[in-house]
Chains A and B, each alone.
Chain A
Amino acid sequence: MTNSSTYLRYEALRTARNWPFLVLSLAFPLILLLVVGGSHRHTHLDGISFPLYYMVGMASWGAMGAVVATGARISAERQGGWTRQLRLTPLSVRSYLTAKVVTGYLVALLGLAVIYLAGAGLGVHLPATGWLLMTGLILVGLVPFALAGVALGHLLRPEVLGPAIGGLTSLLALAGGAWGPLLTGSLAGIAKALPSYWLVQASVAGLDRRVWGVEGWGVMAAWTLVLVPVAVAAYRRDTARV
């Protein structure tokens, strides 16, 4: 069969060479963490050091942004006609989507590493199990966002995608509590249906070592089940003429 690992390797190489994309994907959560977390180094919230509290929020927001931004790369390739060119090859939808999602994940992992290092520099301490649990759960929690990025990339033009991604990730991060638990009452209840809420909870697991309950797994599974066909349909629709 076809050698999709070679294809994946070149996609990763392309992502690694796209340094403006990498720098911009990593910069904002890092800057926020250094500025906000750094200026409250010795503050405590609910008995948790503020830099730690802020670090987990920035970790989930940054990772979310990195995988959703896959959509921007897709949209640009689509506009250039590359997606149609790929349709003239045996590349399967699955291999195509896998390569896009995996490269998005690589950027997210790089972002997490940078955020963790910055957090450690601000004096954050977590046991090894905390770091691992948090990272593992974040990676699982990114699945719906990666799928949403692919779908948006195939549905929207590049000039529309910029504000769409910026606005969407900010709203989701805000509602999910990446910047602190801002929503109260019934709005907080609605927030629990969002994947971003559980993504933030995934980061928080680094603090309290509490893995998602049934509700968390259920919400994430539901979003994934909805978004897989959406992403596949968006790719298919995009590459065929009417």
Chain B
Amino acid sequence: MRAEEVKCPAVWIGGVEKSYGRVTALSGLDLAIFPGETVALLGPNGAGKSTTIDLLLGLSRPDAGEVRVLGEAPAEMVAAGRVGGMLQTGQLIRHLRVRELVSMVASLYPRPRPVDEVLELTATASIAGRDTTKLSGGQTQRVRLALGLVGDPDLLVLDEPTAALDVEGRRELWAVLRAVSSSGTTVLFATHYLEEADEHADRVVLLAAGRVVADGTPNEVRGVVGGRRIRANLPGVDSDELAGLAGVAAVERRGDAVVLSCTGSDAALRLLLARYPTACDIEVTAARLEEAFVELTGAGAGAAGDPGARR
């Protein structure tokens, strides 16, 4: 996938500033997303996620800086049907059945996907004849997704697509979105569910106070704060001795167990096993994305500086 990075970026945001009155939504946002990527835009409320999405969908303009979508102005790409979007809120209009609504929106695009294909893809074919007001939350959201996909976009932008859904609705929506991204569509979704970013994105962009504070794979973003941890039962070994192992950053003793915070957990584990054959009950765990999130956004953007994971 990285080989495709030479292509024109699907999203290019350079030095964007955006304020609403006295409230600064974005302050110097830089972001490039490449074709085929599935990117999670993660951040607490007010970090600038929705503002970024509005800019990408041509719903607002930056005060300063540049926003390009597929190399062009966002509004032009929206008008050409090459960008599809799903906003955070929005009901479906009344007095239409699902298939009629999707057909109606399809008729607006220059080269729409066949309606049946979109209904199939979004798992809405079975409710195609149902009135738009008689759908569950999950069904409504999948129909809204169908509306975003029917123009056959190269880039799909979603603002908290699962915010109001129950577990089942969420699972179904992600199954559809995985199919969309595996067909080559670039997907950018805003979320404040860390587990969604972790499971469904191949890249996480963490926003805080209108700037990117971390950017990388979920593992890389986790690595910004702590990498992995090795926990092992190892009585009677001196902590300082363990701290000297390559790849170990810190050691904590909890009774018979030791917890090694690692910068290079693979090397540390090999050394541990080679030098201390008695070590048992070994667990290697990743620092949770949540810890990265809290440290990078909660502790203030200043503390995050310029994380190494950023490309």
Residues of A within 8 A of B (CB): 1-4, 6-7, 10, 13-15, 17-18, 77, 80-82, 84-85, 87-91, 239-242
Contact = CB atoms under 8 A, between A and B. Distances in A.
Given A6-B103, A241-B54, A241-B60, A82 B90 contact: yes
28 contacts: A2-B109, A2-B110, A3-B107, A3-B108, A6-B104, A6-B107, A10-B96, A13-B100, A15-B95, A17-B95, A17-B96, A80-B91, A80-B92, A81-B87, A81-B89, A82-B90, A82-B92, A84-B59, A84-B87, A85-B147, A88-B57, A88-B148, A90-B80, A90-B109, A239-B59, A241-B20, A241-B59, A242-B60
B-side interface size class: 35 or more
Contacts of A82: 90-93
Contacts of B94: 14, 18
A204 B145 CA distance: 52
Contacts of A91: 108
B138 interface: no
Nearest to B131: A17
Given A10-B100, A80-B90, A81-B91, A240 B147 contact: no
Interface of B: 20-21, 54, 57-60, 78-81, 83-85, 87, 89-96, 100-101, 103-105, 107-110, 144, 147-148, 151
A239 B85 CA distance: 15
Nearest to B55: A241
Nearest to A14: B95
A182 B90 CA distance: 46
B217 to A, nearest CB: 29
B87 A90 contact: no
Contacts of B90: 80-82, 84-85
Contacts of B104: 6-7, 10
A126 B123 CA distance: 58
A10 B108 CA distance: 12
A184 B89 CA distance: 52
A2 B85 contact: no
A15 B83 CA distance: 30
Contacts of B58: 87
- Complex A-B, nearest 8 residue pairs according to Cβ-Cβ distance, in ascending order: A81-B90, A6-B107, A80-B91, A10-B104, A14-B95, A17-B95, A88-B85, A3-B107
Nearest to B144: A85
A7 B107 contact: yes
Contact of B84 (A77, A84, A88): A88
A239 B78 CA distance: 14
B60 A240 contact: yes
Contacts of B20: 241-242
Nearest to A16: B95
A148 B199 CA distance: 50
